[in-house]
Amino acid sequence: MKCVQIQVRGKVQGVWFRASTQRKANELNIKGIVKNLPNGDVYIEAEGEENDLDNFTKWCHLGSDHSRVDNVMISEMEIKSFENFKIVR
């Protein structure tokens, strides 16, 4: 089990990025949160098995259909034992 924080920069707000992130996380059995940041980035905390997290972070580099991902910053963090994956407003 591993937990990472991810910050995605680009055209990632107003393009269903958070909903698509939640859908992908549920597909991969990833738990955590996703939220928009005031600077236009999207912030994610994701927890799961290493292989699933690798696939999830690869998806973050691609993003949702109408998004444009310019940069993805990933760093490990302490496990938080999330119950599910939710969108935080």
**Residues labelled catalytic:** 18, 36
- Distance (Å, whole) CA 55 – CA 62: 11
Angle at 39 between CA 59 and CA 15, to 5 degrees: 45
Measure the CA–CA gap between 60 and 32, rounded to whole angstroms. 14
